[in-house]
Amino acid sequence: GAGVSQTPSNKVTEKGKYVELRCDPISGHTALYWYRQSLGQGPEFLIYFQGTGAADDSGLPNDRFFAVRPEGSVSTLKIQRTERGDSAVYLCASSLTGTDTQYFGPGTRLTVL
């Protein structure tokens, strides 16, 4: 079946703008995760959804970052007032439940000019 998909694959924006990044998980997966990968680093956890609710958003760096998953499937990561330091690859993963293997999408490369 289809894997995790993310759109757009690349996003270039200007400092101060608002961006939305979308994740389509594997069908039937109840758990969804967002990670951020800066250049030369491993991915860092941002937020975990179980169903529609954010079970853990402790990795979100500040209140400019927000994520939703209103119907328990597609998730959107929203970044307000983007800063150059937000430039990174944003990875989404999903798993059948919160304890199962996580499957990653191809990521969205965000560049803030």
Segment interacting with another protein, rule: CB under 8 A, options 19-27, 68-76, 78-86, 104-112: 104-112
Q: Which of 11, 19, 24, 43 binds another protein (CB under 8 A)?
A: 43
Would you count residue 111 as binding another protein (CB under 8 A)?
A: no
Question: Contact between 67 and another protein (CB under 8 A)?
Answer: no
48 binds another protein (CB under 8 A): yes
Distance CA 73, CA 96 (A): 12
- Closer to another protein at the Cβ: 43 or 110? 43
Which CB sits closer to another protein, 5 or 76?
5
Question: Contact, 76 vs 8, CB < 8 A?
Answer: no
Closer residue to another protein in complex, CB, 73/102: 102
Shortest distance, position 105 Cβ to another protein, whole Å = 5
